């Protein structure tokens, strides 16, 4: 096992910068999610680490050893492709055996290792099948078994669950996480799905236009996003823009919003505040007052979406539509068109310096 260090890596295709000075430290044994919109450079970064493609500048090290001049087959990595890339002419067992067999391991060793890997992904009985005789989830497991049977130093996964339906996806997330813990392998996982990134990983890196926007544990990124992009890309957020006051911001209409987390922005500079929809309390204003110092706004419900365990209210306020998520506690539901009071604590408000 080994950690991976990516330092100041850039890669351009023609005039397009697919990776722009990206530096990330992937800790040994950690589960790292790379998240970002389409075209943000996630696959490109993974391909640099794997060695399918080489950076224009910057350094990549695996286990402390610089790998810029090391070809793919010598890097001892395991890779799971989005389309699984199983060899269609080989049986499941032969697919899994491939990496050991090209290394010239003894037949008996290969057989036991393959069986162990297939058991690990719970496909012990399907070794004789051909890939086209498997379901999507089973193929996914074979691809995983094939990637880990060689005991790679790093496991790279490029949207491995992208082609699965929701239920199977959740199953595979749990499975993947279990296997990763069991063998303790450094794992870098590319995904489109923010929920997947939040639930599975120890750390998340958010990429945008080839740049690393923010990086850290899921809680930290969710609770203290450093940019509007990070706030809205990972989870939902209400964004207010105005001028910094030193303890929050002042909106163009004069309303002040207090914020006690996030960046410190000098008074007078442009800044914004992000508030998660589930942190906002919504009421008709008739009930008990909020604690002193709470942020408070009034508005009008424009729409309500019922989703079983919660409801999302869209509240219009001064040309802006705010989103509020309320748990379904059995309390009375608010009607569309009703005037409401929104309140939330400064501690739930993240101050963000303007880009």
Binding site for other proteins (CB under 8 A): 50, 52, 71-74, 76-79, 81, 83, 85-89, 98-99, 102-103, 146-147, 150
Query: Is there binding between residue 41 and ligand ATP (CB under 6 A)?
Result: yes
Query: Is there binding between residue 38 and ligand ATP (CB under 6 A)?
Result: yes
- Beta carbon nearer to ligand ATP, 43 or 272: 43
The total of other beta-carbon atoms located within 10 Å of residue 325's CB is 17
- Beta carbon nearer to Mg ion, 130 or 192: 192
Alpha-carbon gap, residue 4 to 49, rounded angstroms: 8
Strand partners of residue 339? 300
- Beta carbon nearer to other proteins, 6 or 237: 6
Alpha-carbon gap, residue 214 to 216, rounded angstroms: 7
269 binds, among Mg ion, other proteins, ligand ATP, none (CB under 5 to 8 A by kind): none
Q: What are phi and psi of 156, to 5 degrees?
A: -115, 130
Q: Is 165 exposed, middle or buried (0-12, 13-18, 19+ CB in 10 A)?
A: exposed
CB of 36 to Mg ion, least distance (A): 9
CB of 142 to ligand ATP, least distance (A): 22
Which one of residues 2, 33, 40, 155 is an interface residue with ligand ATP (CB under 6 A)?
A: 40
Q: What is the DSSP string of 224-249?
A: S-SSHHHHHHSS--EEEEEEE-SSEE
- Beta carbon nearer to Mg ion, 84 or 313: 84
CB of 220 to ligand ATP, least distance (A): 22
The total of other beta-carbon atoms located within 10 Å of residue 85's CB is 14
- Beta carbon nearer to other proteins, 88 or 266: 88
**Contact call for residues 311 and 333 (beta carbons, < 8 A):** yes
Q: Report the C-alpha dihedral over residues 75, 80, 81, 85, rounded to 10 degrees.
A: 90
Residues 183-222 that bind ligand ATP (CB under 6 A): 192
Alpha-carbon gap, residue 208 to 192, rounded angstroms: 12
Q: Which stretch binds ligand ATP (CB under 6 A): 37-45, 85-93, 217-225, 280-288?
A: 37-45
CB of 13 to other proteins, least distance (A): 13
87 binds, among Mg ion, other proteins, ligand ATP, none (CB under 5 to 8 A by kind): other proteins
Query: Is there binding between residue 42 and ligand ATP (CB under 6 A)?
Result: yes
**Contact call for residues 36 and 18 (beta carbons, < 8 A):** no
- Beta carbon nearer to other proteins, 1 or 263: 1
**Contact call for residues 236 and 277 (beta carbons, < 8 A):** yes
CB of 98 to other proteins, least distance (A): 5
- Beta carbon nearer to ligand ATP, 38 or 329: 38
CB of 219 to Mg ion, least distance (A): 26
Alpha-carbon gap, residue 94 to 110, rounded angstroms: 10
38 binds, among ligand ATP, other proteins, Mg ion, none (CB under 5 to 8 A by kind): ligand ATP
The total of other beta-carbon atoms located within 10 Å of residue 66's CB is 12
Residues 10-69 that bind Mg ion (CB under 5 A): 43
8-state DSSP, 269: S
Reading the block at residue 72, the tokens are 């793919």
The residue among 86, 68, 69, 81 whose CA lies nearest residue 156 is: 81
Q: What is the total count of residues that contact ligand ATP (CB under 6 A)?
A: 12
CB of 104 to other proteins, least distance (A): 10
Could you tell me which residues come within 8 angstroms of residue 17 by beta carbon, excluding any fewer than 6 positions away? 10, 11, 209, 210
- Beta carbon nearer to other proteins, 77 or 351: 77
Binding site for Mg ion (CB under 5 A): 43
């Amino acid at each position: 096992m080994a950690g991976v260090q990516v330092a100041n890596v850039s890669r351009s295709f023609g005039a397009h910068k697919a990776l722009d000075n990206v530096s990330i430290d992937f800790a040994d044994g950690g589960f790292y999610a790379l998240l970002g919109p389409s075209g943000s450079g996630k696959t490109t970064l993974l391909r640099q680490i794997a060695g399918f493609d080489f950076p224009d500048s910057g350094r990549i090290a695996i286990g402390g050893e610089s790998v810029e001049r090391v070809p793919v087959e010598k890097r001892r990595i395991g890779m799971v492709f989005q389309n699984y890339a199983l060899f269609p002419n080989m049986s499941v067992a032969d697919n899994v055996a491939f990496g050991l067999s090209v290394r010239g391991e003894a037949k008996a060793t290969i057989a036991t290792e393959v069986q162990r890997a297939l058991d690990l992904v719970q496909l012990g009985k399907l070794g004789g099948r051909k890939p086209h005789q498997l379901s999507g989830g089973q193929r996914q497991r074979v691809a995983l078994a094939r990637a880990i049977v060689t005991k790679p130093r790093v496991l790279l996964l490029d949207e491995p669950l992208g082609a699965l339906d929701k239920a199977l996806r959740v199953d595979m997330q749990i499975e993947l996480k279990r296997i990763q813990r069991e063998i303790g392998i450094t794992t870098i996982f590319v995904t489109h799905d923010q929920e997947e990134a939040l639930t599975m990983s120890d750390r998340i890196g958010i990429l945008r236009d080839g740049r690393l926007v923010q990086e850290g544990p899921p809680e930290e990124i969710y609770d203290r996003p450093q940019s509007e992009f990070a706030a809205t890309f990972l989870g939902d957020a209400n964004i207010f823009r105005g001028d910094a006051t030193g303890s929050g911001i002042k909106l163009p209409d004069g309303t002040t919003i207090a914020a006690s987390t996030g960046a410190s922005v000098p008074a007078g500079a442009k800044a914004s505040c992000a508030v998660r929809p589930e942190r906002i309390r919504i009421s008709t204003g008739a009930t008990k007052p909020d604690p002193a110092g709470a942020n408070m706004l009034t508005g009008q419900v424009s729409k309500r979406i019922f989703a079983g365990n919660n409801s999302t209210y869209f509240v219009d306020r001064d040309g802006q539509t705010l989103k509020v998520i309320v748990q379904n506690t059995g309390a009375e539901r608010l009607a569309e068109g009703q005037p409401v009071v929104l309140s939330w604590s400064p501690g739930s408000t993240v101050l963000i310096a303007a880009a």
